[in-house]
Homo-oligomer: A and B are copies of this chain.
Amino acid sequence: MSEVRSAFNVSCKNCGLQKICFPTGLQKDEIERLDNIVDRRAPLKKGQHLFEANDNFNALYAIRAGVVKLYSFTNTGEEIVHGFYLPGDVLGIDALGSRRHQYNAIALDTTSVCSLPFEKFSNLTDELPQLNKQMMNVISKEVLDGRMHSELLVRRNADQRVAQFIWNMSERYRSRGYASSEFRLSILHRDVAVYLGLTPETVSRILAKFHADGVATWKKKEVVIHDMDKLLNTAGIQTSCDSCNKATA
């Protein structure tokens, strides 16, 4: 526990997430300036909200540890899950335009965040071109993430959706330097189902099949990928297709 506690208070320059988060490409003294405006609060407990829809927009949040679910509701009261945010990811982009949060952000596990008061951060981006560029990258990532989500929901069957979700999580852990074929995932199957536009029952059946087929196992928050090729195949992702996105007509 003390080990975890200490991890909560690391400064940007000593943070292992530099490559993912805002400091990317910044000089040492620039990181220091960023560091100075970062507000490190006490970690959120599981079930606590980082912000809620309609809250005033005060800050961007960089996740240091844990998982956050971004969600809202339809007019009929059904939950919509927009995404899951891992260490190094940035939350709050949804409020940039209106200065009010559009969605709810809830911790799915004990979660620690770095808060970046937007006024100060905005002033800093004016002075540091590299930080401004990185801000663009972060926003751009948010846009592409949304598109990827849509892509997942269009004309992909349930098997492909679940397989792609597992693969995507694996990739995100890999890019952060963690094991990619075996990792802990504090996300309920129920939440994944909603995210993928499926029912919990369907997800359960598919995970059972994946387990039986030796593709991957997801039990009790522990994910193990047994056969990456099979997983990619099930997801409908061929690795050798460079010109797929090229316009043809």
Contact surface of A with B, Cβ cutoff 8 Å? 49, 52-54, 72-78, 80, 82, 93-94, 96-98, 102-104, 106, 126, 136-137, 139-144, 146-147, 149-151, 153-156, 194, 197, 236-238, 241, 244-247
Contacts and interface: CB of A to CB of B under 8 A. Distances in A.
B154 A236 contact: no
Contacts of A52: 246-247
A69 to B, nearest CB: 11
Given A96-B140, A140-B96, A103 B149 contact: no
Given A53-B246, A245-B54, A143 B141 contact: no
A94 B146 CA distance: 11
Contact of A236 (B75, B104, B136, B151): B75
Contact of A151 (B74, B93, B96, B143): B74
A73 to B, nearest CB: 5
B147 A247 contact: no
A152 B62 CA distance: 28
A241 B150 contact: no
Contacts of A244: 73-75, 77
A132 to B, nearest CB: 8
A76 B236 contact: yes
Contact of A106 (B76, B236, B247): B247
A102 B149 contact: no
